[in-house]
Structure 1
Amino acid sequence: MSAAEKVLFVDRDGTLIVEPPDAQIDSFAKLRLLPGVIAALRRLVAAGYVLVMVSNQDGLGSASFPESDFAGPHALLLDILAGEGIVFREVLIDRSFAHEQRPTRKPGVGLVRHWLVDGALDRSHSVVVGDRDSDLELAANMGLRGLRIGADLDWAGIAALLLDAPRRAEVERATRETRIVVRVDLDAGPGARIASGIGFFDHMLEQLAVHGGFALELDCTGDLAVDEHHSVEDCALALGAALRRALGERRGIARYGFDPAELPLRASGAIGFSAPMDEARADVALDLSGRAHCRFSGSFPREAVGALPCELVAHFFASLADALGATLHLHVAGSNAHHMVEACFKAVGRALRQAMRRDGAAIPSSKGMLVAEHAA
């Protein structure tokens, strides 16, 4: 079965093109595109939206609106848009008059009924765009979001609303050992409020968020009377799940986290992004591929830093990579355990910042998706 698709159901007159006073675009002289429509639709197509035109054309084909008067301007409209890479999967036109009350006339769903079968639509992202109440009613009848072109919303605003929304997520994780609430906002800028019950671990999570360039709130109540293992592991799993949810389908991200400026460091043992801290250095390469894998190398000169056992550092990053769906290579060396652990969190944060940044509109994969089962 094919995957559900993100569809933009678009009205024609008054939405794609300016509607004249007589409500009929029956000559080439009347054909005028709405401002910003080409730029906005190009962004939306690049972001993976399928376009479907749905239009009421009162009495098309009758004596009052001959087919020949409609066909030329309509074909020119489609040609202009196609020349800009904007192609409609379907053009659905109802020719009836309002008094006929046919089910194919908006806001009826007769023309789009085949899109309403289970699995056809990505309902969380599909949208109806129009300029009339009937377009918003069609959206409601389809169970979709409706956006109305008008004084308060133009095409640039629609593209921004659909594509530039902040990437946020909240995850709650409750087990017999821990209860955790994590909130992330990838576009709010760096900031952190952490309460894990492990002081040095709080400081490290703060470093991860600050250097990762995202806002993080994390509250954990864990069985610290037993030991720190469950709290550290479950915080990593909850944080990874929140980042994964905020990234969504990962469209437009840079995907890889390593600084090209750091590549010469490979000659001296670095494998990507390098974060030095005094005598210590952590080297990181990250791929938000959808595939979970972590390779950690390095040994710490003491068992714990504060209340954080050093053996849990590698376990934290393995759990984070697993829940996030990331390939993470991390190597650390040094003689001061505090510096070594902190360098790890800072370096991974910097790699995350680079990998999660918006870098366009396409999914950075030859397979067209970045999920665990189908990563490129």
Structure 2
Amino acid sequence: MEKKKLLFIDRDGTLIVEPPVDFQVDSLEKLEFYPGVFQNLSKVANMLDFQLVMVTNQDGLGTDSFPEDTFWPTQNKMLKSLENEGILFSDILIDRSFPEENASTRKPKTGLLTHYLQGDYDLANSFVIGDRLTDVELAKNLGCKAIYFKEGEAGINELKAAGLEQICSLCTSNWADVAKYLFATERSATVQRNTAETKITVSLNLDGEGVCDIKTGLHFFDHMLEQIGRHSGCDLRVQVEGDLHVDEHHTIEDTAIVLGEAIKKALGDKRGIERYGFCLPMDDCLAQVALDFGGRSWLVWEADFKREMIGDMPTEMFYHFFKSFADAAACNLNIKAEGKNEHHKIEGIFKALARAIRAAIRKDPYNDQLPSTKEML
């Protein structure tokens, strides 16, 4: 069974606005939610695979300075408002100590979270979200990543001064930024394949900006793979050490396999994606690529090449690349190309594939349905 990922979320200053004077939200009049928390956290809670845990320091709760009867009406109203938007916390952990008591349960210490340290959880891919450096320190102590809920250069400088910038994945007080980042993290994948013939690493972010870093040892192949990243809008990093002293075959085939596996992994359960996607002209050529991420592999290939090589890439390997990609990605590919210029034909195919991927991976954050009447892909 896959380990559960967690979002440990601070309360005051993160979910609700912290009063600037006494720092206690001890009345309904003081209750004010951060802008965007309902819309964005509800999408995260309902569409991503995170379990939500609230972790909050409430200094002296239950003492004369902070009576229980001033805390719970506000706390319960806050929880009910969040619940009405589908935001449910599986656990609510409250430390009542004062800072000077140095309690083992007070953030950034992990006394309240022993269950999660000892349980079967994916802490390395979990996050602490909070507005204090102690929240970032808590992430470090748990082995998590952190989202520092503070805006701009001031927050970044605080992290650097405390030596915590490596722990923090994002510095923002905008819940839309938080949701966007978590969705992007969810649709990313890194796949490695090491054999006696090739050593390959492919990193892919489906919700990127088309940023590419590609080195296969074959310049024309690099150029074609860059078309996939740039025109699909995916961030794509491909690093290959292949046995090019033998020939190009293993480098091209194995790269296709790893790229396909990375796309399949990044797509996850495929809920909310468009699934299908495209044809485009390129000067004298018309390239058509129809794509279906339906879970079954198939390749129809109607493209002939008269040249043996284009750049440093054998044309016989084009079919082999797309066949290996389709098998690894578990997708249908129907590829056709016509025209006179061989370079334009194959570049048109790669660009059309990229645009097909772009269309097919598009995800509606408000749609949690599988694009299939079978209810499985």
TM-score (normalised: structure 1): 0.73
Q: More displaced, 210-219 or 131-140?
A: 210-219
Structure 1 counterpart of 2:259: 239
Offset at residue 217 of structure 1 (A):
6.0
| Structure 1 residues 337 and 296: CA distance shift in structure 2, 3 A | farther
Query: Would the aligned equivalents of 1:301 and 1:337 in 2 still touch at CA under 8 Å?
Result: no
The answer to whether the 8 Å contact 1:250/1:363 transfers is no
CA gap of 1:77–1:213, structure 2 versus 1, over 3 A, is closer
Change beyond 3 A, Cα 1:46–1:204: same
SS of residue matched to 2:325: helix
Q: Show the counterpart of 2:326.
A: 321
Contact 2:273 2:371 in 1 (8 A): no
CA deviations on 1:193-238 (whole Å, 9 max, x unpaired) are 6654475x45544544444344656565644564442232123224
Q: Distance in 1 between matches of 2:189 and 2:90?
A: 32
For 1:77 and 1:295, the matched residues in 2 are separated by 53
Deviation of the 1:277 alpha carbon: 5.8
State the shift of 1:327 in Å: 0.6
Task: Indicate the residue corresponding to 1:14 in structure 2.
Answer: 13
Fraction of identical pairs, as percent: 40
Q: CA deviation at 1:143?
A: 2.0
Change beyond 3 A, Cα 1:118–1:311: farther
Which residue of the partner structure matches residue 38 of structure 1?
A: 38
Residue 351 (1) aligns with residue 351 (2): no
The correspondence of residues 53-202 of structure 1 with structure 2, limited to 5 A, is: 53-97=54-98, 102-120=103-121, 122-150=122-150, 152=155, 153-156=172-175, 157-164=177-184, 173-180=193-200, 187-189=208-210, 196-197=217-218, 199=220, 201=221
Q: Partners of 1:283 and 1:72 in 2: how far apart?
A: 61
Could you tell me how far 1:171 is from its partner in structure 2?
A: 6.1
Output the CA distance in 1 between the equivalents of 2:215 and 2:134. 48
State the distance in 1 between where 2:70 and 2:241 align: 71
Change (3 A) 1:4 1:226: closer
CA distance 1:37–1:191, shift in 2 (3 Å) = closer
- Alignment partners' CA distance in 1, 2:235 and 2:138: 38
Secondary structure at 1:256's aligned position in 2?
Answer: coil
Kindly report the root-mean-square deviation, in angstroms, between the aligned alpha carbons of the 2 structures.
4.0
Look up the equivalent residue of 1:154 and give its one-letter code.
Answer: S
Q: Which blocks of at least 5 consecutive residues in structure 1 are unaligned?
A: 259-272, 368-373
Mark the CA change 1:314 to 1:255 in structure 2 (over 3 Å): closer, same or farther. Answer: farther
Contact 1:194 1:218 in 2 (8 A): yes
Report if aligned partners of 2:299, 2:332 keep a CA contact under 8 Å in 1.
Answer: yes
Q: Residue 356 and residue 253 in structure 1: after superposition, are their counterparts in 2 closer, same or farther (change >3 A)?
A: farther
Mark the CA change 1:347 to 1:364 in structure 2 (over 3 Å): closer, same or farther.
farther
Residues 105-131 of structure 1 deviation map (CA, whole Å, 9 limit, x = unaligned): 4334333222223422x3233222233
Aligned-partner residue type, residue 85 of structure 1: G
Note if contact 1:294-1:327 (Cα within 8 Å) is conserved in structure 2.
yes
Deviation at residue 337 of structure 1 after TM alignment: 8.6
Change (3 A) 1:182 1:143: closer
1:293 aligns with 2:297: yes
Contact 1:179/1:220 (CA < 8 Å) preserved in 2? yes
| Cα distance, 1:174 vs structure 2 | 4.8
For residues 26-82 of structure 1, what are the alpha-carbon distances to aligned partners after superposition, in whole Å with 9 as ceiling and x for unaligned?
Answer: 322232223443344234324423322122334433444333222212221122222
Describe the shift of the 1:208–1:361 C-alpha distance in structure 2 as closer, same or farther (beyond 3 A): same
Paired position in structure 2 for 1:52: 53
Residues 150 and 224 from structure 1, CA distance in 2 versus in 1: closer, same or farther, beyond 3 angstroms? closer
Aligned residues: 350
* Distance change in 2, residues 1:238/1:196 (3 Å): farther
The 8 Å contact of residues 46 and 361 in structure 1, kept in 2 or not, is answered as no
**Per-residue displacement from partner, 1:251-298 (whole Å, max 9, x unpaired)?**
78735242xxxxxxxxxxxxxx23456786554332345x46132243
What code does the residue aligned with 1:12 have?
A: R
CA contact (8 A) 2:253 2:320 kept: yes
Question: Which has more radius of gyration?
Answer: 1
Find the aligned partners of 2:104 and 2:239 in 1 and give their Cα distance. Answer: 52
State the partner residue of 1:264: none
Q: Any conservation in 1 of the 2:60–2:97 contact (CA below 8 Å)?
A: yes
Paired with 2:369 and 2:98, the residues of 1 have a C-alpha distance of 47
